[in-house]
Structure 1
Amino acid sequence: MKPLTELTFDNRYARLGDAFSTPVLPEPIAEPRLVIASPAAMALLDLDPAEADNPLFAQLFSGHKLWSTAEPRAMVYSGHQFGQYNPQLGDGRGLLLGEVVNAAGEYWDLHLKGAGQTPYSRSGDGRAVLRSSIREFLASEYLYALGIPTSRALCVTASSTPVWREKQERAAMLLRLAPSHVRFGHFEYFFYTRQHEQLKTLLDHVVHCHFPECLADAEPYAAFFRTVVERNAELIARWQAYGFCHGVMNSDNMSILGITFDFGPYAFLDDFDAQHICNHSDDSGRYSYSNQVPIAQWNLAALGQALTPLVAVEQLREALGRFLPLYQAHYLDLLRRRLGFSTAEEQDQALVERLLQLMQGSAVDYPRFFRQLGELAAEPALRLLREEFVDLAGFDQWSADYCARCHREGADQPARRARMHAVNPLYVLRNYLAQQVIEAAEQGDYAPVRELHAVLSQPFTAQPGHERYAERPPQWGKHLEISCSS
Structure 2
Amino acid sequence: MHYHNTYKNLDTRLYTRQLPTPLDNPRAGHLNLQVAEQLGWADDADLMAHWVEILGGHYVPEQFAPLSMAYAGHQFGQWAGQLGDGRGLLMAQVLDKDGQLQDLHLKGSGLTPYSRMGDGRAVLRSTIREYLCGHALTQLGIASSNALGFIVSDTPVHRERIESGAALMRVADSHIRLGHVEWIASFAPDLLDEFTDYMIDTYYPDCRNSEQPVLAFLQAVVERSARMIADWQLIGFAHGVMNTDNLSITGSTLDFGPFGFMERFNPAWINNHSDYSGRYAYQNQPAIGHWNLNNWLPHFMRLTQAGVTRDSLAACLEVYEPVFMQHYQQGLCRKLGLPHQSESLVLAFEFLTFLEDNLLDYTNSFRALLGLVATEAHPHEQQLLANLLAELNEDAKQVWQDWQTRYMTQIQAASQEQVVLDLQSNNPVYILRNDMAQRAIDAAEQGQFEEVARLFDLLQTPYIVQDIATDLDSRPPAPNARPLPISCSS
TM-score after normalising by structure 2: 0.93
Cα distance in 1, alignment partners of residues 449 and 181 from structure 2:
40
Higher mean C-alpha deviation, range 250-259 or range 343-352: 343-352
Q: Is the CA contact (8 Å cut-off) linking 1:233 and 1:324 kept in structure 2? A: yes
Q: Is the 8 A contact 1:427 1:470 kept in 2?
A: yes
Say yes or no: does 1:293 pair with 2:318. no
CA positional deviation for 1:394: 3.0
Per the alignment, in what secondary structure is the counterpart of residue 347 of structure 1?
helix
Residues 97-139 of structure 1 show CA distances to partners (whole Å, capped at 9, x for unaligned) of 1212335433211100011000000111100000001100000
The 2-side partners of 1:357 and 1:202 are apart by 45
Which of 421, 425, 436 pairs up with 2:428? Answer: 425
Q: Could you say which residue in structure 2 is the equivalent of 1:335?
A: 332
Secondary structure at the counterpart of residue 274 of structure 1: coil
C-alpha change, 1:386 and 1:55, in structure 2 (3 Å) is: same
1:345 to 333, 336, 341: 341
1:233 aligns with 2:236: no
The answer on 1:363 being equivalent to 2:352 is: no
Per-residue CA distance 1:370-429 (angstroms, 9 max, x = gap) = 1111124279969744443453343333222211211222425xx533431122111111
Partner of 1:397 in structure 2?
A: 402
Contact 1:113–1:174 at 8 Å: present in 2 too?
yes
The CA deviation at 1:10 is 2.4
Partner of 2:379: none
Where does 1:35-184 land on structure 2 (aligned, <5 Å)?
35-48=29-42, 54-184=48-178
CA contact (8 A) 2:436 2:473 kept: no
* Mean CA deviation greater in 418-427 or 88-97: 418-427
Q: Is residue 481 from structure 1 mapped to residue 477 from structure 2 by the alignment? A: no
What pairs with 1:176-215 in structure 2 (closer than 5 Å)? 176-193=170-187, 195-215=188-208
Query: For residues 295-310 of structure 1, what are the structure 2 equivalents within 5 Å?
Result: 295-310=288-303
CA spacing shift, 1:347–1:47, aligned 2, 3 Å: same
1:318 partner letter: A
Q: Give the match's secondary structure for 1:283.
A: coil
Shift in CA distance, 325/60, structure 1 to aligned 2, threshold 3 Å? same
Q: 1:198 to 1:389 in 2, by over 3 A?
A: farther
Aligned to 2:9: 15
Instruction: State the Cα deviation string for residues 429-448 of structure 1 (Å, max 9, x = none).
Output: 10000000001101100111
In the alignment, structure 2 segments of 5+ residues that lack a partner are 377-381
User: Which amino acid letter does the alignment assign opposite residue 146 of structure 2?
Assistant: R
- Aligned residue runs from structure 1 range 376-415, under 5 A: 376-377=372-373, 384=386, 385-389=388-392, 391-411=396-416
CA contact (8 A) 2:41 2:48 kept: no
Instruction: State the AA in 2 paired with 1:276.
Output: W
**Runs of 4+ that moved beyond 4 A:** 49-55, 378-383
Task: Please tell me whether the aligned partners of residues 239 and 259 of structure 2 are also in contact (alpha carbons under 8 angstroms).
Answer: yes
**Structure 1: 5+ residue stretches without partners:** 1-6
Identity rate, percent: 39
What secondary structure, in the 3-state scheme, does the structure 2 residue paired with 1:372 have?
A: helix
Structure 1 Cα separation of the partners of residues 327 and 92 of structure 2: 34
1:236 CA displacement = 0.7
- Contact 2:372–2:385 (8 Å) recurs in 1: no
Task: Say if 2:318 is the partner of 1:325.
Answer: no
Pair 207,50 (structure 1): closer, same or farther in 2 beyond 3 Å = closer
- Which whole-Å CA distance do the structure 2 matches of 1:160 and 1:477 have between them? 35
SS at 1:307's partner residue? Answer: helix
Q: Which residue of the partner structure matches residue 217 of structure 2?
A: 224
1:50 to 1:442, Cα distance in 2 relative to 1, 3 A: farther
Structure 1 residue matching 2:65: 3-state secondary structure: coil
**Which residue identity is paired with 2:353?**
Q
Partners of 1:25 and 1:478 in 2: how far apart? 43
The equivalent position to 2:474 in structure 1, one of 464, 471, 484, is 471
Find out whether 1:263 has 2:256 as its counterpart. yes
SS in 2 for 1:119: coil
- Flag the 1:21–1:9 CA change in 2: closer, same or farther, 3 A: same
1:44: Cα distance to partner? 2.2
Q: In structure 1, what residue type is equivalent to 2:323?
A: L
Give the conservation status (yes or no) of the 8 Å contact 1:112–1:174: yes
- Shift of the 374–51 alpha-carbon distance from structure 1 to 2, 3 Å rule, reads farther
Question: Shift of the alpha carbon at 1:9?
Answer: 2.3
> Match for residue 453 of structure 1?
456
Note if contact 1:156-1:172 (Cα within 8 Å) is conserved in structure 2. Answer: yes
2:30 partner SS: strand
Judged with a 3 Å threshold, the aligned counterparts in structure 2 of structure 1 residues 32 and 55 are, in CA distance, closer, same or farther, namely: farther
How big is the shift at 1:480? 0.5
Q: Secondary structure at the match of 2:358?
A: coil
AA matched with 1:315: S
Q: Provide the rounded CA distance (Å) in 2 between the counterparts of 1:130 and 1:477.
A: 26
Q: 2: distance between equivalents of 1:433 and 1:346? A: 37
The alpha-carbon distance between structure 1 residues 49 and 101, as it changes in their structure 2 partners (threshold 3 A), is closer
| Contact map agreement 2:70 2:82 (CA 8 A) in 1 | yes
Residue 249 (1) aligns with residue 242 (2): yes
Q: 1:211 to 1:76 in 2, by over 3 A?
A: same
Native 8 Å contact 2:264 2:476 kept in 1: no
> In structure 1, how many angstroms separate the alpha carbons of the residues matched to 2:142 and 2:401?
33
Structure 1 window deviating more from structure 2 (347-356 vs 108-117): it is 347-356
* Number of positions where the alignment pairs a residue of Structure 1 with one of Structure 2: 476
User: 1:57: Cα distance to partner?
Assistant: 1.4
CA distance in 2, matches of 1:284, 1:388: 31
1:181-214 CA-partner distances (Å, limit 9, x unpaired): 0000000111123x33211111110100100010
Structure 1: how far apart are the matches of 2:425 and 2:4?
A: 38
Which residue number in structure 2 is paired with residue 438 of structure 1?
A: 441
Distance in 1 (alpha carbons) for counterparts of 2:35 and 2:56: 16
Q: Name the stretch that deviates more: 422-431 or 375-384.
A: 375-384
> RMSD of aligned C-alpha atoms?
2.1
TM-score, normalising length from structure 1? 0.93
Give, in whole Å, the separation in 2 of the partners of 1:103 and 1:396. 51
Secondary structure of the residue that 2:353 maps to in structure 1?
helix
Q: Which amino acid aligns with 1:388?
A: E
Instruction: Please state how far the C-alpha of 1:24 moved relative to its aligned partner.
Output: 1.5
